[in-house]
Chains A and B, each alone.
Chain A
Amino acid sequence: MHLQVNGEDREIAVAPNRLLLDALREDLGLTGSKRGCDDSSCGCCAVLVDGTPILSCVALAASYERREIITVEGLGSLGELDPVQEGYAEMGGAQCGYCTPGFMIATKALLDRNPNPTMDEIREALSGNLCRCTGYMQIYESVKYAIEKLRAKSAAQVPATR
């Protein structure tokens, strides 16, 4: 089957019961998405499918042919981090880092559809992800950092009128 991952077309042979998370980690070597539980409760394995975060540990790879999948590896590059990645790196949003890919995927999905979320909306959007290190406060700071960064970026892109 063909998986469209991070803008690339990848061809793999998978059993019908192969989980998307295992296909990403083991067949494609994209180990950034993590397994933290076995029952869709932690969010460490979250990836974007057509812009919506899903839990790849409870998704069958075979169901995602021709869907656009973005994993943590596709958020930005070492040359240019995504503002969300920058936020989590700079503001302490990543301590042990294990839940971070899932949190960044959830954050990315939130900011793509709502660039100015309220605190409650941030809490809501991240409520499917568990972090055991931070107590969430620095994760909120990380999200706010990304919001500011994105705002500055879009302001720079809008040509000055008048």
Chain B
Amino acid sequence: MAKNINGFNLIGKPMAMTDARAKVTGLGKYADDLSVPGMLIGKILHSPYAHARIRCIDTSQAEALAGVKVTATGEDARNPYGILPIGHDERAFALGKALYIGDNIAAVAATSSEIAEQALDLIRVDYEQLPAWFDPEESMKASSNWINDERPQNVEKEYHHVFGDPDKGFAEADFLAEERYYAGEVNQAAMEPHATLAVWEPDNRLTVHSSTQVPFYLHRTIAAVCEMPMSQIRVIKPLIGGGFGGKSEIIPLEVAACVLAKKSRKPVKITYTREEVFLAHRGRPITIVYLKVGMARSGKITAVQARVIQDGGAYCGYGPVTVLYSGALLGAIYDIANVQYDGFRVLTNKPACGAMRGHGTVNVRFAFESILDQLSHQAGLDPLELRRRNLLKAPCITANSLRVTSYGLPECIERVFERSGWAAKRGKLPYGKGVGVACSHYVSGAANPIIRSNMPHTTVHIKVDRDAAVTVYTGASEIGQGSDTMQVQIVAEVLGVSTGRIRLVAADTELTPIDLGSYSSRVTFMAGNACLNAARDMREQIVAAVARKFGCAAEDFETRDGRISHKEDQSRNLSFDEAVAVALEFHGALTARGTYAPPETARGGKFKGAGVGPSPAYSYSAQVAEVTVDTETGQVRVDKIVAAHDCGKALNPLTVEGQIEGSVYMGFGQALQEDMVWKDGRLMNPSLLEYRIPATKENPEIESIIVESIDPEGPFGAKEAGEGSLAATIPAIANAIFDAVGVRINSIPITPDKILDALREKQKSAAGNKANASKKPVVAGVSR
């Protein structure tokens, strides 16, 4: 192993993922690949109505069908649950009312999936239809027939925050922009549809294999719903075929499988169809943003005012957190003293939204970065320069009490400025071609846990025994992002051994200590730090024994290349195997542990809702998109996106680049083509054929640039890489479209019809003004 220039053996080097061979041979097992003898197949009956009282359910005919072993309805599991302690409004199956088309009414488990399907048709449900709410702004006006009786006017939650003095800030502004933005609803569309196998064990325990990003929250929820002690339940996370937040709360099939398994005392597997994935949803909500920003002649932003309405669907889910993130991350990327935020999470009779990649920040970032572009044109200032003039000076505390420890945004901006050829292209490309810039940021894990406590967010155990293998027990959930590989790298680096010596046991509630899960981009920072602490503990124990053997001080030794060697006297050294034997003789057993909890100073302010937004560190991104707009068809082609991302320190550049590119890709999809189309509460495109995620032919070329700000508290300086880049992509494309053809589209996805409408509008007003035919921007907005 060659030592690389930064002094690390493994950190900072591109490394294939540790589970890559399992994946490329087809031998790795995802939840739906698992089966056990006697396994039943479960199917769920969904509501055909958007809002309906359930008068009665008759399952007797279904139960009489040969092969059907058990049925279940709301009466079988009455305890409510939900990911947030303030939002326990879901149940295994609807009790009393169905709240959306697709709501869970009943389930069956049978010896085959065909029989289970047939049985669903035999369940008789007597519904009484109720008036339903589909538009969030209409829903907020409801005076009766509320979706949840405890949520008057169908408002799940509202927050009102004022930082600094917005009135004064607006009075000081030389330029003012005020717009309405609209973002359509999008779904994670992970390639793996959800699946859960719940196995009732001979000793009356329950083992659950599930496609989850949060095995430990699932563990708690099953205990509550099934009325079993947590000690009798084991949750195991197999390989996960992508999450993006769609598996980061408890999904109806998970509780349904457990209820059926407990009732039948048999193993039950449920796998969603793709349509069911869309109906379980938890994607990014329709968001309406009324945004006003004031700017001084200098380019300094003087005040921000935002009113944000999110269409949350029928259940709470992560809703209050989403709407809080939208406020907390709105202005905190820049140095802005005066901010007013009014956020509303509204209930409608549609599937519940959730925590999709870039949770809460993406749609407000689209609005904010678009309006900055507009202001820069009003002021005759280069939009990239405008951003330079509003940077934070880290370390600092933002107006809304977020602690910023490292801030690579300035470098991100300069890198994309150079790599995109910005100076030569902005405003200078021929009509139909343009470039746009935008920035974004994201948390490296939430500083406050969902369920408030002072316990660690992650704990890692390491065991070394006579085989000199290093076994790492971690709760962190690999979902394809490289969680396992990152932890193997860190432990191997600290112990100075090859990665082949490390065995990782992960995300199994019976074997591994707790990690809160793979959400809010927390794994590298939090599980990484816990791993680092555990590995240092193990290293200390081994080195102490070796030093004692040679009669030297522990500080005199280094661990490198599979040896523990005296720094000056190279003859005093032991191989790792020999050192382990010496250490076992001295200590008896070699076990180490590490934990991580964010420091008190990172946990944010004291106002209501201050708990969401604080993170031990923030990632930053700047992007330039280059587009070609066909003015005949309205079609937009994104030729290239240059994306620079400050991840603190790239522990594994291969996976960091993969995360940046994946984020940009997902932003591209939302910008131009992904949209859940609703008609009276019915999803009109619940398939990958009609809900179009980008394929190879549409996807732009992406150039990813890693910026390393070296965070003082991150493991080896690392911060998040998996989410922060997504939000910048959408406004970068929207701003590039303006540069190309002079129209602003304030509604995503930016489909050809919106472009054509805006171009026609522009032509009309240009004709009216007898303006010259040059590329002078005439603003024509489209905002649904």
Contacts and interface: CB of A to CB of B under 8 A. Distances in A.
Given A78-B25, A134-B658, A135-B702, A90 B244 contact: no
Contacts of B479: 96
B5 interface: no
Contacts of B242: 95-96, 98, 132-133
B193 A35 contact: yes
A95 B242 CA distance: 8
A117 interface: no
Interface string B264-276: 0000000101110
B32 A35 contact: yes
A56 interface: no
B689 interface: yes
A97 B480 contact: yes
Interface in A78-100: 78, 81, 85-86, 88-92, 94-100
Interface in A58-106: 71-73, 75-78, 81, 85-86, 88-92, 94-101, 104
Contact of A73 (B25, B189, B190): B25
A127 B24 contact: no
Contacts of A76: 25
A13 interface: no
A32 interface: yes
Contacts, number: 183
A136 B702 CA distance: 9
A31 interface: yes
Nearest to B654: A92
B556 to A, nearest CB: 38
Contacts of A73: 25-27
A96 B27 contact: no
B665 A135 contact: yes
Interface stretch (B344-352, B381-389, B424-432, B690-698): B690-698
Interface string B241-255: 111100000000000
Interface stretch (B13-21, B322-330, B618-626): B13-21
A41 B239 CA distance: 23
Given A85-B24, A89-B20, A92-B657, A123 B697 contact: yes
Given A123-B696, A138-B657, A100 B688 contact: no
Nearest to A137: B661
Given A92-B658, A130-B695, A36 B688 contact: yes
Nearest to A139: B696
Contact of A135 (B24, B191, B244, B662): B662
A82 B23 CA distance: 13
Contacts of A90: 16, 20
B699 interface: yes
Contact of A37 (B243, B689, B701): B689
With a 10 A CB-CB cut-off, give which of B23, B188, B665 has the most chain A CB atoms: B23
A132 B21 contact: no
Nearest to A76: B25
B270 to A, nearest CB: 14
Nearest to B703: A137
A135 B697 CA distance: 11
A40 B687 CA distance: 10
B481 interface: yes
Interface in B431-482: 479-482
Given A72-B25, A97-B239, A98-B241, A39 B689 contact: yes
Nearest to B21: A89
Given A89-B16, A92-B655, A95-B480, A132 B25 contact: no
A96 B480 contact: yes
Contacts of A100: 23-24
Contact of B665 (A44, A81, A104, A134): A134
A131 interface: yes
Main secondary structure of the interface of A (DSSP, over half): loop
Given A38-B273, A96-B480, A131 B191 contact: yes
Contacts of B480: 95-98, 133
Main secondary structure of the interface of B (DSSP, over half): loop
A126 interface: yes
A130 B33 contact: no
Contacts of A124: 696-697
Contacts of B699: 135-136
Given A35-B193, A96-B191, A133 B658 contact: yes
B80 to A, nearest CB: 31
A150 interface: no
B23 A89 contact: yes
Contacts of B188: 132
A32 B191 contact: no
Nearest to A40: B689
B481 to A, nearest CB: 7
With a 10 A CB-CB cut-off, give which of B241, B275, B479 has the most chain A CB atoms: B241
B761 interface: no
A135 B23 contact: no
A20 interface: no
B193 A97 contact: no
A41 B689 contact: yes
B229 interface: no
A144 interface: no
Contact of B29 (A31, A38, A126): A31
With a 10 A CB-CB cut-off, give which of B20, B24, B275, B658 has the most chain A CB atoms: B24
A109 interface: no
Interface in B662-710: 662-666, 687-689, 693, 695-697, 699, 701-702, 704
Contacts of B17: 89, 92, 94-95
Contacts of B244: 132
B25 A36 contact: no
A135 B695 contact: no
A161 B681 CA distance: 71
A97 B23 contact: yes
Interface in B220-250: 239-244
A8 B400 CA distance: 65
A99 B28 CA distance: 13
Given A92-B654, A127-B695, A127-B697, A98 B192 contact: yes
A42 interface: yes
A155 B173 CA distance: 69
A34 B241 contact: yes
Interface in B163-197: 188-193
Contacts of A111: none
B30 interface: yes
Contacts of B481: 95
16 contacts: A36-B191, A36-B274, A36-B688, A85-B25, A89-B17, A95-B17, A98-B30, A99-B241, A127-B695, A127-B696, A129-B696, A130-B191, A130-B695, A131-B191, A132-B244, A134-B658
Given A38-B275, A73-B26, 7 more contacts: A42-B191, A72-B25, A94-B20, A96-B240, A98-B241, A130-B688, A139-B696
4 interchain residue pairs of minimum CB distance: A32-B26, A96-B480, A98-B241, A97-B23
